[in-house]
Amino acid sequence: MSQNALDSEEFDAVVLGTGLIESIVASELAAADKKVLHIDRNPYYGGSFACFTLSAFIEWAVQHRDQRQTPSVDIFVGSGSIDTESPTFVVDHTSKLGDANNATSDAAERLVERLSPYLADAQQPSERISVTEQLAKLLSNDRKYAIELAPKVAYCRGKLVDLVINTGIGDHVQFKGVEHNYIARDDDAIERVPDSKGDIFASDSLSLIEKRKLMKLMTSIDDDKLTEECADDMSFAQFLETRFKLSGKLLDSVLYAVARVEKRDELSARAGCARVQKYVRSIGRYGRMAYLCAMYGGGSEIAQSFCRLCAVSGGTYILSERVGSVEKRDDDTGYAVQLSHGRVFAKHVVLDPSYLPDSEPTDCAVSRAVCILDNPVLGDDTTAILSYVVDVGVVSVLYTTQATLAAPSGQSVVYLWTSGRLSDTRALLLSALNKVCGSLARPLFTALFETRDMKPVQDALPGLCYTAAPDSTLDFDSAVDRALEIVADIA
Amino acid sequence: MHGRRRQALKEPSVDEKEQSRQRVEKYCALNNSVMSLRANNVFTASALDQTKRLLELNTELHTVWNYRRQVFEHMDLWQDTEERQRMLEAELGFLFEIIMKNVKSYWMWNHRVWTLNSMPRADWKKELGLVAKLLALDARNFHGWDYRRFIVSNLKKASEGSSGSSGGEFAYTTEQINRDCANHSAWHNRSKLLPAVLEKASSAEAQKSLLRTETDMILNAIYTDPDDQNAWLYHEWLVSIQPSDEDRCHLLRDKVAAIRELLDLEDEKDEASNKRPLIELVDALAALDRLEAVTDTEKNECLETLRRLKSIDSYHVGRYSDMIQSLAQRWDLGSEHTSTMISQ
């Protein structure tokens, strides 16, 4: 497409960013016969849900990430650095430009060159060779990694799965079941959360009376009338304690691993019942599990499928497109968006807030860790989730292997995340990582970063539809909710 | 098969009705032909072929199965060992084809048993594999379980003196029970195997330990689903095979304690779900009473429970009144007490 080819073209909607929310919106609008222009500033789809090979992930850290949203990425190569909690590389805006680039065709060398300006002060020059060697080893399997920026899974009977079925995308995306749900509390061993009658019967970790209580909970949760017993001001934790007499480990398992609260009393009784009901009803739809995990990286694959659908319905796509200003049109018929391909007009603009030049980060953040382990520590060829519950907070963990084509055989890729700024949660994340590794696995490569929610500055344009950065929930439904909200506003 | 939804029937179309009529006509013709062959004591290859085609259409014709067996036994080739082996192997193949149409046909299973018993060389291991596959599809098909017992006993005969077969079978029931603790067939098979397993135990201590494992396992089932009668039944049977009265009382006291714990957990509004635990409580207290002394409080608790049951379970009011009367008499609690109990 030649430069300025789009100049002065009119659209019903311009969507900025190809994250999951934006892609669902674009696809739904196109299906409703709207003329859609869908833009991404990156050379790849997925936005903040994007999925990368290892080398592409490092490229994202160095080049493509939004500095305001993700100020820095700490990279640990090998397990020694994790133990001392001193990163090998700190990728932020304060890089010291190194020596002139020695042209090299070796992929590992090139990558290390890209990273070398960010070598942490504490690193000795002699360690550089070892780091290069370790990176080279990892990069020999580069294409076998599918590293997600914002990993999530889907409830088998949740909104994303229903949307995927209704739009026909289900034909193009493959899923595997999340086979196990674990909980790890304080210094206790990691335990499986039983999720079926057979599981409960055979469980070693529940007492007899606990089994009865859990069975009663699972059978009565399906009854919609149960919520009538929830007092308005009761938290779900209180409800479980009084109505089902749960306590201790069992209470924690239901609260954290099933209802997925982050703080003990944050969830109302009614909302808690709805969540557990969703979980229990999801089991059995596709097998003995409540969640599905997409192959090749969930959010990204699904977002791309929605983009494909939008294109088939007439949407126009441009990647690697720089977005300048977004302004209101003088005659109040919408907006003008400045692109390098020209200035386009749109009745509606839907955007990831980081696309506005003058948006700023809020205090709301999700801290994340991505870790490549040298061992499929929770089982080879399986996918699992784990809740790490300690006094100071709760960490969600998603464990992936070659089962979802996320890692080469013999390794695993583990994601850990929790709400909060990285400066506050760093120790918690590393402690959770230690728990997962136990004595069986060592990290080969770890990245720590945070993603902050962005918001437009005070006097920004009214009427723009903002999507949001991926939140700390485990599943996609909050993203689907937001997308459908936007679609309802526009269409 | 378990777990399949019943489907509503639709009114058939004119075409479908015609097709159906033609099929019925063909079937009747074949049936008549076979019956007349049988009446005339015809035992030829043609008879084999016709019975085969008829049985493919309808596995429930036990007369035809009987007749087919007679045909086999009358054939000249039957006398030759190798020929017989070949014919019966082919018969097994035929049975395998039709087994999926109706997994619960008594006559077909019977015929398979006859085939294996008549074969000069039966491959019991292969049969075991087959029945394992069947039970994987439907773990509660009692034909499958019966057949499994038949094969296992033949395997044992074939490998005289080799131990561990019942151990393997026992482990198989454990596996099935862990998959679905409501699998009554698995529990039943377990009860058939347990005595042999206990006998093989190396010492009295080992026996006690095995029994304790069984008790733990059945208590797990009881706590997981107190409404499942099968679990209580197995527990009752465990009580009966205890080596001494003391052990029996111990188990019964545990049962009473478990029931009390379960009842504690229930709330007042949901009385109906308490029915089974309450009945078992009455049975346990009455059984204890026959073995050792129970306190007056417990006797009153028993009668009180029966009164509760009368209001929960109106279908069996007569039975409960009857039990109240006989127990009150046994415990000599006086006639006014009895009459008050009954009239409520």
Q: Based on the structure, what is the number of domains in chain A?
A: 3
B215 neighbors B238 (Cβ within 8 angstroms): yes
User: Considering CB atoms only, which of B178, B221, B223 is closest to A209?
Assistant: B223
> Per-residue pLDDT for A390 more than 80?
yes
Domain boundaries defined on chain B: 29-122, 284-344
Domain co-membership, A365 together with A342: no
pLDDT of residue A98: 55
Residue A316 pLDDT: 95
Which residues, including other chains, have CB under 8 Å from residue A383's CB and lie 6 or more apart?
A176, A177, A178, A179, A293, A398, A399, A400, A401, A403, A404
End-to-end CA distance of chain B: 44
H or E segment at B266?
A: none
Say which residues have a Cβ less than 8 Å from residue A276's Cβ, sequence separation at least 6. A217, A221, A254, A258, A259
Q: Is B227 on the interface with A (CB under 8 A)?
A: no
- The answer on A472 and A329 residing in a single domain is yes
The CA–CA distances, whole Å, from A349 to A23, A69, A256 equal 13, 21, 38
In a domain, A153, yes or no: no
The answer to whether the beta carbons of residues A344 and A21 sit under 8 Å apart is no
- Count CA atoms closer than 13 A to A64's CA, side-chain side: 24
Q: Are residue A469 and residue A353 in the same domain, yes or no?
A: yes
Model confidence at A15, pLDDT cuts 50, 70, 90, reads very high
Q: Integer distance in angstroms from the first to the last C-alpha of chain A? A: 29
Q: What DSSP line would sit under A187-217, residue for residue?
A: TSPPEEPP-SHHHHHH-SSS-HHHHHHHHHH
Q: Would you call B261 and A209 a contact, using CB atoms and an 8 Å cutoff?
A: yes
Whether residue A261 is contained in a domain is answered as: yes
Contacts of A200 in chain B (CB under 8 A): 224
Average pLDDT score over chain A: 90
Q: Is residue A184 part of a domain?
A: no
Chain segment B268-286, per-residue pLDDT in tens: 667 777 888 999 999 999 8
Tokens standing for residue A429: 């994340």
Q: Which residues of B touch A209 (CB under 8 A)?
A: 223, 261, 265
Residue A320 has pLDDT above 90, yes or no: yes
State the residue range of the domain holding A467: 10-48+295-358+458-490
Arithmetic mean of pLDDT, B227-238: 92
Mean pLDDT, to the nearest integer, of A330-344?
88
Q: Mean pLDDT over all residues of chain B?
A: 87
Instruction: Judge if A348 and A472 occupy the same domain.
Output: yes
CATH code of the domain containing A129? 3.30.519
B219 touches chain A (CB under 8 A): yes
What does the pLDDT read at residue B7? 78
CA A281 to CA A24: how far, in whole Å?
25
Residue B140 one-letter amino acid:
R
pLDDT tens digits along A89-130: 889 887 766 555 555 566 667 777 788 788 776 666 666 678
Q: What are A203's two structure tokens?
A: 């469980």
Same domain, A350 and A380: no
Query: In terms of domains, do A342 and A480 share one?
Result: yes
pLDDT digits (tens, 9 = 90+) for B32-51: 999 999 999 999 989 999 99
Same domain, A478 and A336: yes
Same domain, residue pair A387 and A441: yes
B263 touches chain A (CB under 8 A): no
pLDDT of A105:
61
> What value does the mean pLDDT take over residues B194-213?
88
Picking from B180, B182, B220, the nearest residue to A208 by CB comes out as B220
Q: Which residues of A touch B (CB under 8 A)?
A: 197-198, 200-202, 208-209, 211-213, 215-216, 245
Instruction: Report the CATH number at residue A474.
Output: 3.50.50.60
Determine, yes or no, domain membership for A186. Answer: no
- In angstroms, the CA B9 to CA B167 distance is 47
Residue B159: its pLDDT value, please? 67
Chain B: nearest CA to A234, how far in angstroms?
20
Same domain as A448, residue A434: yes
Which pLDDT score is estimated for B268? 65
User: Chain B partners of A202 at a C-beta cutoff of 8 Å?
Assistant: 178
Burial of A345 (0-12, 13-18, 19+ CB in 10 A): middle
Residue A418 φ then ψ, to 5°? -155, 160
- ipTM rounded to 2 decimals: 0.77
Binning pLDDT at 50, 70 and 90, where does residue B161 land?
very low
Per-residue pLDDT band at B315 (split at 50, 70, 90): very high
CB contact under 8 Å between A198 and B223, yes or no, is: no
How many angstroms separate the CA atoms of A455 and A351, rounded?
11
Whether A112 contacts A139, CB under 8 Å: no
**A235 and A103, same domain (yes or no):** no
Residue of A nearest to B183 (CA): A198
Q: Is A337 part of a structural domain of the chain? A: yes
- Residue A201 to residue B265, Cβ atoms within 8 A: no
- Cβ within 8 Å of A, B 129-168: none
As a whole number of angstroms, the distance between CA A179 and CA A291 comes to 8
* Residue A285: CB atoms within 10 Å: 14
pLDDT 10s digits, A419-441:
999 999 999 999 999 999 988 89
Per-residue pLDDT tens for A167-198?
999 888 999 999 999 999 978 889 999 988 88
Residue whose token pair is 């000249």: B76
Residue A359 pLDDT level (bands cut at 50, 70, 90): confident
Residue A175 has a pLDDT of: 95
A436/A470 same-domain check: no
- CATH number of domain containing A234: 1.10.405.10
- Nearest CA-CA partner of A326 in A343, A344, A341, A338: A338
Contact A198 B181 (CB under 8 A): yes
Among the partner-chain residues A198, A208, A245, the one whose CB lies closest to the CB of B223 is A208
Tell whether the model's pLDDT for residue B336 goes beyond 60.
no
More confident: B308 or A27: A27
B115: its two tokens? 């085939």
**Residues paired with A337 in a beta bridge:** A326, A344
Residue A46 pLDDT more than 70?
yes
Considering only CB atoms, A201 lies closest to which of B178, B262, B265, namely: B178
Give Cα separations from A205 to A188, A210, B213 (angstroms): 12, 10, 16
In angstroms, the Cα distances linking B180 to A209, A285, A287, A360, B144 are: 19, 18, 15, 55, 16
A420 and A308 in one domain? Answer: no
Contact A208 B221 (CB under 8 A): no
pLDDT of residue B142: 84
B1 — pLDDT class (breaks 50, 70, 90): low
B222 min Cα distance to partner chain A (Å): 9
For A212, which of B177, B180, B265 is closest by C-beta distance?
B265
Q: What is the mean pLDDT of residues B193-216?
A: 88
Which chain A residues have a beta carbon less than 8 Å from that of B261?
208-209
